[in-house]
Amino acid sequence: MYISITGLKPKGILGYFKFWMLAIPSFNQAQAAKGNLHSSVKKMHGFQCTLTAWESRELMMQFMRSGAHLKAMKAFSAIATGKSFGYESETVPDWENAFTMLLEKGKNH
């Protein structure tokens, strides 16, 4: 199974509203996407975080490059900063472990 963790911080008040206008449809898309096994969101230490689990990295990439998520990615640099981290696992991590991995191993965006 492929685990994907993101933590984003909206830029300013306008970025905050634009972020949510894009994040909600993107999360709804993830929940309905082929291969999605788990989807959750949580605010942690100032980051708006997502934790998703997928049958495979390939199915996660198909989701990532389509629909609402693609639209959000194209707008990302104007509305937020953050990190992402993905890896193979047999279990979905709890939020504390996921957030620690994100901070320690995540790629800055």
Q: Where are the chain's structural domains? A: 2-108
How does 47-59 read in b/e, with b if 16+ C-beta sit within 10 Å? bbbbbbbbeebeb
Which regions of the chain does DSSP assign to beta strands (E)?
2-10, 36-44, 47-54, 80-88, 107-108
Whether 73 contacts 13, CB under 8 Å: no
Please state the rounded mean pLDDT for residues 58-66.
97
Kindly state the DSSP code that residue 45 receives in the 8-state scheme. Answer: T
User: Which pLDDT band holds residue 18 (cuts at 50, 70, 90)?
Assistant: very high
Give the 3-state secondary structure of residue 107.
strand
Distance CA 72, CA 86 (A): 18
Three-state SS for 71?
helix
CATH architecture of 2-108: 2-Layer Sandwich (3.30)
CB 24 within 8 A of CB 96: no
pLDDT of residue 49: 98
Lowest pLDDT segment from 69-78, 82-91, 97-106: 69-78
pLDDT for position 31 = 96
Q: How confident is the model at residue 24 (pLDDT cuts 50, 70, 90)?
A: very high
